[in-house]
Amino acid sequence: MSLEDLNNQILKCERCALCQTRKNAVPGEGSSKAEIMFIGEGPGKNEDEQGRPFVGAAGKLLDKLIALIGLTREDIYIANVVKCRPPGNRDPLPEEVDSCRKWLDKQVEIINPKIIVLLGRHSMDRFLPNQKISLDHGKPKRLKGQVYFPIYHPAAALYRNGLLEDLEKDFKKIPRILKMIEESKIKTEKKVKQVKLEI
């Protein structure tokens, strides 16, 4: 199945109650051949209205961070754990995350990125449960052959002093981690294991 076909299915999804309150489902956007995939939590008000991910204030910051590593949105792929806006921007419920599970898994399978950048706690929980974003941000992990890189959510950096500095620092590691993956310096591990980076 192509990414386009998959995303067309997501647009019509009625697997959970969020379909009743959404204006638009937000499948994601970017290159289907992206080496880097960013995964946020879920659409907010602006995203719900436009049907596009990260188009509000957090999205503007994400664009700046992407530019910081010499890339644009066309080079990467941006998706979310849940594809429809939780009312009032509440956290997605576990059953909503579960309903969206097959969509996100299929997107990852089709895009097959070298690295998945997990934006914030909810995105990290979805792939790397039982970790703490305040402790584990900026540390790449390999799990079942896939490299994950948890970092703070751009929205958190907008309202919490000090996080922006960490977020920029972590973001700047992305090209080096990619290079290490390409050079196969990161060894496959059976369990979640912190990759030792010489940076």
Instruction: Name the residues that contact ligand URA, by CB under 6 A.
Output: 40-44, 47, 53-54, 58, 80, 155
Please identify, using beta-carbon distances, which residue of 62 and 174 lies nearer to ligand URA: 62
Query: Cβ-closest residue to ligand URA?
Result: 40
Query: Closest distance between ligand URA and the C-beta of residue 188, in Å?
Result: 30
Query: Closest distance between ligand URA and the C-beta of residue 56, in Å?
Result: 6
Please identify, using beta-carbon distances, which residue of 154 and 180 lies nearer to ligand URA: 154
Please identify, using beta-carbon distances, which residue of 54 and 180 lies nearer to ligand URA: 54
Please identify, using beta-carbon distances, which residue of 53 and 140 lies nearer to ligand URA: 53
Q: The tokens of 174 are what?
A: 């992305």
Query: Closest distance between ligand URA and the C-beta of residue 155, in Å?
Result: 6
